[in-house]
Amino acid sequence: MSGVWVQVVQFLMALSLLIVLHEGGHFFFARLFKTRVEKFYLFFDFLFPFSNILPFSLLKKKIGDTVWGIGWFPLGGYVKIAGMVDESMDKEALAKPPEPWEFRSKKAWQRLLIMLGGIIVNVLLAILIYAMILFVWGEKRMPVSQMKGGIEIRDSLGYKIGLKDGDHILSVNDRQVYYYDDIIDELIYAKTITVQRNGKHEVITLPKDYISQMIDKRKAFFGVAYAPTIVEVTKGSSADKAGLKAKDYITVLDGVAIANNVIFDSIRLANKSKLVSLVYVREGKSYQTQIQLSDSGTLGIQRGGLSILDMEKLGMVKLDTHRYGFLECFPAGIRMAGEQLNKYIRQFRLILDFKTKAYKGLGGFASMANIFPQQWNWEAFWTITAFLSIVLAFMNLLPIPGLDGGYVLFTLIEMITGRKVNEKVLEVATTIGLVLLLGLMLYANGMDIFRIFKK
């Protein structure tokens, strides 16, 4: 299976799980308060948000009072709760007197819990997944002290804003960083970056349009610098004759310590056609050999990108690892879910600040699928799924009619004032909210299409 299809499969698995459990939260509280649920659907069985356009199911079966099904439009899913103004806009049913088993006949606090059910499940799911990730794999972080070669620029934007290969990042916005992921988390909000360069501290002031430029790239413009690592040796090449093998990494070339690929390239290009000394590491042990460089300075090796975990396996770095016991992992899961929610809220604020142009980073299905790795990795899959569950909970809590948060807002108004919001007002507000959601969906997925053709 190709890398792209691995991403697509992971995305569909995560999306389906989150939809079913979110709608299951609504279903649970509805049935708890003896409210009839007429439909429970994974994906929409109509062209959302137009319930009368292309109404058909891929699969459906009625069990009791509920029709369970799979729709054809994979935007989300829904439960149709009797006596509720929702995506179906069933005005005929709402024109009749309320029945005891309908949503509108229930007490305000019961309706509030029914509408919060999906959000509650999403939060609990994220906590559970994070807890199990910490229990099974633990928590691994790279201290900046382990970044011996500093950073390595991977896109011209890095040079444009003033960074250089080999820089050691000390602080972002005057906030000292202790771990590499602290740098990544703070980078999107950065106004200044303090680096250590050639033994001196330098403060880099970022341009005002920095965030929009970074979002345009949609990729990391720097990473952890590491010694050149071999993924393949060309048969019969100088490297092959010198005894080099895949997974070896080079630490010294022509007497110069090689902390990153940039230094390696500069040394090999300066010694074209020469016989030079080379030191490499294999399974934790160093070996020295002589190697003949070609007229163009090549050795006959193919280098590959490494993840932080790959670097740890090869012995390049030592990560700080914390293992969690079964009882210990649950409080840690709550803490981790809270941290991820805080990060997303900060990013959401940037999107609302039009000066930053962060709204250009919005994306649809393709963007969400693209955050999954192209090689199957269960830890990565569950980590991303937990984050998406947090995002789904937050977005659904927004007070927009048509989303859970819109219904929550109207119910809270009723609980405070003691008067129900008029159903005609609910219908109009829901229609407006659904149109806004449709516009946002078209914009986000349109941006994905635009980026594909822009490449």
* Amino acid of residue 97: P
Distance between CA 453 and CA 349 in Å, rounded?
28
- Model pLDDT, residue 367: 80
Distance CA 442, CA 257 (A): 52
List the beta bridge partners of residue 357: none
Q: Mean pLDDT throughout 357-367?
A: 74
Look at 78-82, 116-120, 260-264, 422-426 and tell me which has the smallest mean pLDDT: 422-426
Per-residue pLDDT, averaged over 302-330, amounts to: 88
Whole-number average pLDDT of the chain: 88
Instruction: Measure the CA–CA gap between 246 and 265, rounded to whole angstroms.
Output: 19
Domain 144-225 shares a fold with domain 230-305: yes
Out of 45-54, 262-271, 386-395, pick the least confident.
Answer: 45-54
pLDDT grade for 219, boundaries at 50, 70 and 90: low
**pTM of the predicted structure, to 2 decimals:** 0.82
CB 191 within 8 A of CB 205: yes
What three-state secondary structure class fits 75?
Answer: strand
Predicted pLDDT of residue 331: 96
pLDDT level of residue 137 (50, 70, 90 thresholds): very high
Architecture of domain 230-305: Roll (2.30)
Reply yes or no on whether the pLDDT at 5 is more than 90. Answer: no
Residue 405 vs residue 220, higher pLDDT: 405
Tell whether the model's pLDDT for residue 91 goes beyond 60: no
CA distance 384 to 391: 10
Structural domain boundaries in the chain: 3-134+378-454, 144-225, 230-305
Find residue 280's DSSP bridge partners.
250, 287
Residue 241's pLDDT is 93
pLDDT of residue 439: 83
- Output DSSP code: residue 272: T
Quote the percentage of the chain above a pLDDT of 90. 52
8 Å CB contact between 58 and 77: no
Judged by average pLDDT, the poorest of 84-93, 160-169, 287-296 is 84-93
Model confidence band, residue 453 (pLDDT cutoffs 50, 70, 90): confident
Structure confidence by residue, pLDDT tens digits, 69-82 = 999 988 789 999 99
**Tokens 């003033």 correspond to what residue?**
162
Strands 230-233 and 222-224: unpaired
Reported confidence tier of residue 454, pLDDT bands at 50, 70, 90: low
- Rounded distance between C-alpha atoms, residue 43 and residue 59, angstroms: 11
In the chain, the largest separation of any two C-alpha atoms, in whole Å, equals 92
Asked if residues 187 and 350 have their Cβ atoms less than 8 Å apart, the reply is no
- For tokens 């990729």, what's the residue? 219
In this prediction, residue 428 carries a pLDDT of: 82
Secondary-structure percent of the chain, ordered helix, strand, coil, rounded to 5: 45, 20, 30
Encoding tokens for residue 87? 């995506």
Cβ atoms of residues 287 and 280 within 8 Å: yes
Q: What is the pLDDT of residue 124?
A: 97
According to the CATH classification, is domain 144-225 in 2.40.160? no
